[in-house]
């Protein structure tokens, strides 16, 4: 769906995928939206694995958290992430479905890293779920700014500086922000 959900027909999908016929497509998927959900879940999972779930060796929860969030922001410059996660995903899936997918994936991992950082005294003791969702909201909005910017690389650098300040505001003591 490189041209986006709304600019891609079932015929385009059949031709591009090599499944052969519309009937074969409908054998696997109820409709285009069901295929999109599968694509969204795949991109979300890949993004989570690349940016959050695979920490640099020898890092603590703070470093894994900051590195992962910066990895997600960096990924916002990738066309597939922009199109599937940031542009089409919210419209095609709706907020509730999108959030359910993310709750079982990226948000769960961010939540665990926040919990670990609080448990180790790196971040002040506070409600884990609320902090996680605040961080996710800030990150998603920053990612949309990057995705829609005339100069995405510049927008990402600027957003990364703001993200650093936001993250550091939660640290108990001065810390280094680890970027990928």
> Averaged in consecutive runs of 10 residues, what is the pLDDT profile of the chain (180 residues)?
72 72 72 87 89 73 88 87 90 94 92 94 95 94 91 94 93 75
Contacts for 50-58: CB closer than 8 Å, 24+ residues apart: 50/75, 51/75, 51/180, 52/106, 52/109, 52/110, 52/113, 53/109, 56/178, 56/180
Tell me how far apart the alpha carbons of residues 59 and 53 are, in angstroms, rounded to a whole number: 12
Taken as a whole, the chain contains a residue count of 180
Q: Which fold has domain 33-168?
A: Tetracycline Repressor; domain 2 (1.10.357)
Quote the tokens at residue 50: 């690349």
pTM of the model: 0.81
| Domain extents in the chain | 1-30, 33-168
Half-sphere exposure of residue 47, counting CA atoms within 13 Å on the CB side?
29
Quote the tokens at residue 49: 């694995």
């Amino acid at each position: 769906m490189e041209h986006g959900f709304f600019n891609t027909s079932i015929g385009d999908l059949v031709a591009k995928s090599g499944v052969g016929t519309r009937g074969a497509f409908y054998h696997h998927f109820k409709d285009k939206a069901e295929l999109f959900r599968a694509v969204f879940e795949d991109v979300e999972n890949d993004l989570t694995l690349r940016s959050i779930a695979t920490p640099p060796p020898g890092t603590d929860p703070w470093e894994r958290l900051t590195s992962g969030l910066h990895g997600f922001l960096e990924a916002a410059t990738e066309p597939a992430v922009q199109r599937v996660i940031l542009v089409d995903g919210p419209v095609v899936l709706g907020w509730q479905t999108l959030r359910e997918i993310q709750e079982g994936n990226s948000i769960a991992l961010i939540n665990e890293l926040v919990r670990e950082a609080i448990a180790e005294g790196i971040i002040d003791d506070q409600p884990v779920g609320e902090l996680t969702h605040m961080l996710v909201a800030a990150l998603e909005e920053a990612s949309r700014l990057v995705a829609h910017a005339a100069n995405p690389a510049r927008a990402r650098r600027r957003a990364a500086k703001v993200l650093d300040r936001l993250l550091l505001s939660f640290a108990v003591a001065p810390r280094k922000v680890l970027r990928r």
